[in-house]
């Protein structure tokens, strides 16, 4: 069993590792994500990035993070490694996240897990 | 999962989780196009015998064993429903080979779906991954390698994203050609459930 301090240390370590100077969009592509419609979400991200010619963004996939009923889940890492988790995403919400969060730098609070 | 492509996408995520650097996919028809065989082969860290036994059993899933879950059982079910077969082989440290056989004419066989899109998204999100695809039927054979394809287009000055997008169109065109009249869903641009929704939307927009 890990203590709270240890867990916090792990979490900080992950944030350090994600400090790439780029924004990273990570779409949950496990069985639960795909079944819930992660593919149209990812397509929407890809199209937005392509049509807007965004350079400083990486689009990637991840496995199941254990909240299958909240899928499709998308994690956005900012340049400084801060993570935002968006839940129950749709293609339209994805386009909005690109517009407001990726370009505008504003977290779309109404779509987050918190 | 309503399309075979989504199953493929799902097991590719397994391969990626298993730290594969190479994934080879083949979609072939054989026995006078009566059977449709899908194989997915990776060079990831594989499974030991115990894990392999449990991999297609949804009820032996434990939360800490990330490789097992509903993905493989659903793929297996889709194959067995058509009267087909499903075989999973793996060696620890070497990789995994998945073979799913479908009876083409069965009413329960799911449509192939948007295979090009699966490659587009995977090429986009995992640039270092070597992906290969073989499509084969009595009409011919098509061979695709993501690295070579992307390199050729990038030499021309395209971005990696444009290359991935080009791959999507290319693969779907070839799939339509090779499986035309063999897989009934091919031709007419209606590729699976999401494909037909897209077509509907396009028509509505017109």
Look over chain B and give the mean of its residue pLDDT values, rounded to a whole number: 85
Residue A80: the pLDDT is 84
Counted residue by residue, chain A has a size of 114
> Of residues B102 and A2, which shows the higher confidence score?
B102
What mean pLDDT is predicted for residues B64-92? 85
Cα dihedral sign for B135, B138, B140, B141?
positive
Task: Say which DSSP state A110 is in.
Answer: G
Q: Which domains does chain A have, with CATH numbers?
A: 4-111 (3.40.30.10)
Q: How far apart are CA B4 and CA B175, in angstroms?
A: 13
| Per-residue pLDDT tens over the stretch A89-98 | 999 999 999 9
Chain B residues with beta carbon closer than 8 angstroms to that of A98 = none
What is the percent of chain B where pLDDT is above 90? 53
Question: ipTM strictly over 0.85?
Answer: no
Instruction: Give the global pTM.
Output: 0.82
Helix and strand totals (H; E) in chain B: 7, 6
Residue B193: the pLDDT is 46
Protein fold of B4-205:
Heat Shock Protein 90 (3.30.565)
- Give the residue extent of every domain in chain B: 4-205
Six-digit token string for B51: 């894990």
Q: Pick the residue from chain B with its C-alpha nearest to A58.
A: B125
Chain A residues with beta carbon closer than 8 angstroms to that of B1 = 31, 34-35
List the single residue in A34, A39, A46 with the smallest CB-CB distance to B124: A46
> Of residues B100 and A66, which shows the higher confidence score?
B100
What mean pLDDT is predicted for residues A44-59? 90
Residue A7: the pLDDT is 78
Asked if A65 has any chain B CB less than 8 Å from its own CB, the reply is: no
Q: Are A39 and A61 in contact (CB under 8 A)?
A: no
> Of residues B160 and B204, which shows the higher confidence score?
B160
């Amino acid at each position: 069993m890990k203590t709270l301090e240890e867990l916090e240390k792990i979490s900080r370590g992950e944030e350090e590792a994600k400090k790439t100077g780029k924004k990273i969009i990570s779409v949950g592509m496990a069985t639960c994500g795909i079944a819930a419609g992660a593919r149209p979400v990812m397509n929407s991200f890809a199209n937005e990035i392509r049509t807007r010619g965004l350079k400083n963004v990486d689009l990637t996939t991840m496995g199941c993070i254990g909240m299958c009923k909240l899928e499709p889940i998308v994690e956005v890492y900012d340049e400084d490694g801060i993570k935002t988790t968006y839940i129950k995403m749709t293609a339209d919400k994805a386009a909005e996240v690109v517009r407001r969060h990726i370009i505008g730098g504003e977290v779309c609070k109404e779509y987050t897990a918190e | 999962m309503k399309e075979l492509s989504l199953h493929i996408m799902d097991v590719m995520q397994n391969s990626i989780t298993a730290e594969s650097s190479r994934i080879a996919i083949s979609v072939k028809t054989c026995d006078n196009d009566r059977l449709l065989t899908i194989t997915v082969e990776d060079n990831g860290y594989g499974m030991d015998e115990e894990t392999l036994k449990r991999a297609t059993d949804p009820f032996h899933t434990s939360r800490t064993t990330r490789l097992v879950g509903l993905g493989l059982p659903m793929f297996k079910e889709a194959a067995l429903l058509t009267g087909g077969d499903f075989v999973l082989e793996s060696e620890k440290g070497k990789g995994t080979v998945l073979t799913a056989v479908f009876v083409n004419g069965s009413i329960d066989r799911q449509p192939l779906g948007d295979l090009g899109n699966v490659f587009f998204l995977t090429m986009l999100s995992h640039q270092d991954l070597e992906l290969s695809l073989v499509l084969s039927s009595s009409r011919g054979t098509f061979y695709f390698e993501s690295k070579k394809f992307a390199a050729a287009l990038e030499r021309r000055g395209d971005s990696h994203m444009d290359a991935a997008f080009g791959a999507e169109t290319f693969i779907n065109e070839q799939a339509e050609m090779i499986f035309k009249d063999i897989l009934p869903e091919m031709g007419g641009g209606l590729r699976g459930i999401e494909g037909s929704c897209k077509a509907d939307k396009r028509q509505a927009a017109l």
